[in-house]
């Protein structure tokens, strides 16, 4: 019988959950989201403290009064052995875009990990180790052949990865979880999505990406060190994936926020018509980011609250803490759209105010010249008999009356503060 999904998480509106553990290690206020490195460090220190209790005392509890991130006592030494002699203290090499697949084997009991060949995947799993297979499906034919030979998931999942657009979702199968995650990237002023399919079973983690994905690249730089310090079970990799995905959202939102601030400053001065197109494009990009983060919150909440054989109960509290970080991104995106809208409205109000001032001055000029136009019209008529025509000082009297009218009107306008 073919395996079928038992449930699927879709985009949904969810409540805000407590994020107190994360906030212990993050700066407060709006600037908190700018410190993505510190935020990530805080999440990992929380994980270390919790896992020290439930994971066999790998790390001691932080002493009372110690600063966050300090005072941790190592109880038991951790040992790593890499078959490629890779130093655990340095960053892992980033696989080039042209690489078809990379495989890493994890031994959580012995605290060992090693880069292995794709052909050794089945042997590593049979030996009780956990393997992470990262496949670049940009090389379509080779990737199809490789995935068919591994036979780790249903063929329709593979076809979806090749053919579908990014749409964050979760499907639960009997033997594994299938997640579709959407990373973000800014290419100049264009907002692009990066689809990554994640299939997690009892002994394997399969990631499928088309070309380079920013959060997977960041994951490859940190997972070895984090494995040595924090890992207790394969669920550690699920935590790492979401940790770097949220950092990706934070970094993209920070770039958007800088553009919003620049646009706000530009709208405070004289601008041309192109600015209005830029404002519309930026507002649309912020809405697109929200459409990406919103279903990610739903999927993350599903993983953090529903029991699963592939996500340990020890990992779920940390995933639940991340929901708060995602929620803050959603709220900040709305705030930025409001700021952008307010800046545009302020600019339009300023333009309207300037227009009103100009129109007021033109109205004053019209009021002054209206009686003069009337007088000129009357005395410009071709009457044969006008009393003033026989008056020697009639011409000068006309101009005297015109000047007097102008003086009186100007005085009245100034008193009314119309001039």
Concatenating the DSSP letter of every residue in 190-209 gives: EEEEEEEEEEEESSEEEEEE
Query: How many Å apart are CA 296 and CA 214, to the nearest integer?
Result: 16
Q: Is the pLDDT of residue 249 over 90?
A: yes
Query: How many Å apart are CA 374 and CA 1, to the nearest integer?
Result: 99
Angle, alpha carbons 243-4-195 (nearest 5°): 35
Q: Which residues contact 183 (CB under 8 A, 6 or more apart)?
A: 193, 194, 195, 196, 213, 214, 215, 216, 245, 248
Instruction: State the pLDDT at residue 387.
Output: 61
pLDDT, tens only, 7-26: 433 333 333 333 333 322 33
Instruction: State the pLDDT at residue 79.
Output: 27
pLDDT, tens only, 97-106: 557 888 888 8
Contacts 24+ apart (CB under 8 A), 51-60: 51/230, 51/232, 51/314, 54/314, 55/232, 55/314, 56/232, 58/232
Domain parsing of the chain, residue ranges: 7-347, 355-415
- Burial category of 164 from C-beta neighbours within 10 Å (exposed 0-12, middle 13-18, buried 19 and up): exposed
- What is the end-to-end Cα distance of the chain in Å, rounded? 88
Query: How many Å apart are CA 311 and CA 304, to the nearest integer?
Result: 8
**Do 47 and 229 meet the contact criterion of CB atoms below 8 Å apart?**
no
Beta-sheet pairing, 112-116 with 204-209: unpaired
**Residue 392 binned pLDDT confidence (cut-offs 50, 70, 90):** confident
Please state, rounded to an integer, the average pLDDT across all residues of the chain: 74
Instruction: State the pLDDT at residue 386.
Output: 64
pLDDT, tens only, 276-304: 888 888 888 899 999 999 999 999 999 99
Instruction: State the pLDDT at residue 299.
Output: 92
**Do 194 and 248 meet the contact criterion of CB atoms below 8 Å apart?**
no
Q: Which residues contact 384 (CB under 8 A, 6 or more apart)?
A: none
pTM of the model: 0.67
Q: Which residues contact 227 (CB under 8 A, 6 or more apart)?
A: 106, 111, 113, 236
Identify the CATH assignment for 355-415 out of 3.90.1150.10, 1.20.58.340, 1.20.210.10, 1.20.810.10: 1.20.58.340
The neighbouring-strand residues paired with 101 are 135
The pLDDT of 346-352, averaged and rounded, is 87
The three-state secondary structure class of 107 is strand
Instruction: State the pLDDT at residue 48.
Output: 41
177 φ, ψ to 5°?
Answer: -105, 145
The pLDDT of 373-397, averaged and rounded, is 73
Do 7-347 and 355-415 share a fold?
no
pLDDT, tens only, 133-180: 998 888 888 888 888 888 888 888 888 888 877 788 898 988 899 999
Angle, alpha carbons 8-11-13 (nearest 5°): 120
Q: Is the pLDDT of residue 399 over 70?
A: yes
Q: What percent of the chain has pLDDT over 90?
A: 13
What is each CA distance from 228 to 122, 246, 270, in whole angstroms? Answer: 24, 22, 56
Class of domain 7-347: alpha beta
Token pair for 227? 């494995």
The three-state secondary structure class of 24 is coil
Q: Which residues contact 48 (CB under 8 A, 6 or more apart)?
A: 58, 59, 72, 229, 230
Ramachandran region of residue 417, left (φ > 0), alpha (ψ -120 to 50) or beta? Answer: left
Q: How many CB atoms lie within 10 A of CB 357?
A: 10
């Amino acid at each position: 019988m073919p395996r079928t999904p038992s449930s699927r998480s879709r985009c949904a509106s969810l409540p805000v959950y407590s994020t107190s553990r994360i906030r212990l290690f993050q700066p407060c206020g709006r600037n908190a989201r700018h410190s993505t490195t510190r935020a990530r460090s805080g999440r990992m220190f929380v994980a270390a403290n919790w896992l020290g209790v439930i994971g066999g005392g790998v790390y001691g509890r932080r002493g009372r009064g110690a600063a966050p991130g300090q005072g941790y006592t190592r109880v038991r030494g951790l040992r790593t052995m890499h078959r490629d002699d890779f130093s655990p203290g340095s960053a892992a090499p980033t696989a080039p875009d042209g690489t078809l697949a990379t495989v890493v084997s994890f031994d959580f009991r012995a605290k060992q990990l090693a880069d292995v060949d794709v052909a050794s995947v089945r042997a590593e799993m049979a030996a009780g180790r956990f393997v992470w297979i990262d496949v670049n499906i940009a090389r379509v034919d080779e990737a199809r052949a490789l995935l068919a030979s591994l036979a780790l998931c249903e063929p329709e999942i593979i076809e979806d990865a090749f053919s579908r657009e990014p749409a964050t979702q979760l499907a639960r199968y009997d033997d594994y979880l299938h997640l579709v995650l959407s990373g973000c990237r800014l290419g100049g002023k264009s907002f692009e999505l990066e689809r990554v399919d994640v299939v997690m079973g009892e002994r394997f983690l399969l990631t499928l990406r088309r070309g380079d994905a920013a959060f997977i690249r960041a994951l490859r730089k940190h997972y070895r060190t984090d494995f040595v310090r924090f890992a207790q079970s394969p669920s550690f990799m699920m935590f790492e994936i979401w940790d770097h995905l949220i950092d990706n959202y934070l970094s993209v939102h920070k770039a958007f926020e800088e553009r919003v601030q620049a646009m706000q400053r530009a709208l405070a001065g004289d601008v041309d018509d192109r600015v209005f197109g830029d404002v519309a494009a930026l507002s649309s990009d912020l809405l697109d980011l929200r459409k990406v983060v919103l279903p990610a919150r739903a999927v993350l909440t599903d993983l953090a609250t529903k029991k699963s054989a592939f996500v340990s109960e020890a990992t779920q509290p940390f995933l639940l803490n991340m929901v708060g970080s995602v929620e803050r991104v959603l709220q900040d995106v709305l705030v930025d759209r409001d700021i952008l809208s307010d800046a545009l409205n302020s600019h339009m109000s300023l333009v309207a105010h300037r227009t009103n001032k100009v129109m007021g001055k033109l109205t004053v000029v019209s009021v002054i010249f209206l009686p003069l136009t009337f007088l000129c019209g009357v005395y410009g008529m071709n009457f044969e008999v006008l009393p003033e025509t026989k008056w020697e000082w009639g011409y000068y009297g006309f101009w005297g009356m015109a000047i007097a009218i102008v003086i009186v009107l100007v005085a009245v306008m100034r008193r009314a503060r119309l001039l």
